[in-house]
Amino acid sequence: MSSDTILIPGIDTPVSRVALGTWAIGGWMWGGPDDENGVRTIHAALDDGINFIDTAPVYGFGHSEEVVGRALAEKPNKAFVATKLGLNWTDDKPEDRKVFRDSRPARIRKEVEDSLRRLRVETIDLEQIHWPDDKTPIDESARELQKLHQEGKIRALGVSNFSPEQMDIFREVAPLATIQPPLNLFERTCEKDILPYAKKNNAVVLAYGALCRGLLSGKMNKDTSFPKDDLRSGDPKFQKPKFESYLAAVEDFKELAAKRDKSVLAFAVRWVLDQGPVIALWGARKPEQVSGVKDVFGWSLTDEEKKAVDEILARHVPDAIDPTFMGPPNRD
């Protein structure tokens, strides 16, 4: 197995260690959908060697999954799809909908059937609980997922945003193949507990936010602004004066990357991959946003570069902000 692929327990074929993240393709919280560009983006990712796509029903209330299903039907290719469940939403106009956690067994079964239809597949390669639901016992949710796994509707099971204690409860009932936490140069909390847990329990980490919502693309400046319906308008990293501190760190990362003849984007994703059994989610909504994927493979950061990263962070963002603002509420 080469360094640019990895085996997920339950999936027989290795998947690329960069997966296409499709939240933005769904449109919700990213300024609305653009389906033609979304399809072209997925095709461009496949052409560049990405064979793993991560989506979720809540990404546009089913819309991201529909675009993924359409794109894969138009370009038959052995691509693997990860989706999620465990979030529900109110029956309002899309712009007014409220999202909340809901991992009750009946909801899980409905979400799997809906995802199969939207993705146009008979089996979901990887199904993940998106956020823990404090009002539903984890073992109940895991048991329903295990039933769906045994019925052949799911190949592998994973969780996202779970603590080690919550994952232990899940694993008493069902096998846990993957763990999805936030991880990037600025958001590193999972280094303390999630990464060691994954290594100990033979699970693969799907690192979301590997580009920190575009901050590590190297294309932002102090005048970059975001519309109200853009997720980043509510992210404290993108508000002054913090924004300038993060941008200053990105400039230093650019210099570090340039010494290796790499873009800051490739450098940032490579740093994520160097953390262990990790797949980095590369979010995009336009074809040009996946160019450069190949620059991530075939090299690793040196110990000196890793030390320089830590020094840059200590200098510019010693009190980095965790992405806890993204957590949806429990249901009433």
Q: Is 229 contained in some domain? A: no
Q: Is 105 contained in some domain? A: yes
Q: Do 222 and 248 meet the contact criterion of CB atoms below 8 Å apart? A: no
Instruction: List the domain range (segments joined by +) for residue 292.
Output: 5-215+266-298
Q: What integer is the mean pLDDT of 46-65?
A: 93
Q: Is 192 contained in some domain? A: yes
Q: What percent of the chain has pLDDT over 90?
A: 74
CATH (domain of 146): 3.20.20.100
Asked if the model's pLDDT at residue 213 lies above 50, the reply is yes
- Integer Cα distance of 49 and 73 in angstroms: 18
Q: Is 316 contained in some domain? A: no
The burial class, CB within 10 Å (0-12 / 13-18 / 19+), for 257 is: buried
Q: Is 321 contained in some domain? A: no
Structural domains of the chain, count = 1
Q: Is 305 contained in some domain? A: no
Q: Model's pTM, two decimal places?
A: 0.93
Which residue intervals of the chain are DSSP H helices?
23-26, 35-47, 63-74, 105-119, 138-150, 164-171, 194-200, 242-258, 264-273, 303-316
Specify which residues 15 forms β-bridges with: 6
Q: Is 254 contained in some domain? A: no
Known catalytic residues? 59
Q: What integer is the mean pLDDT of 114-124?
A: 97
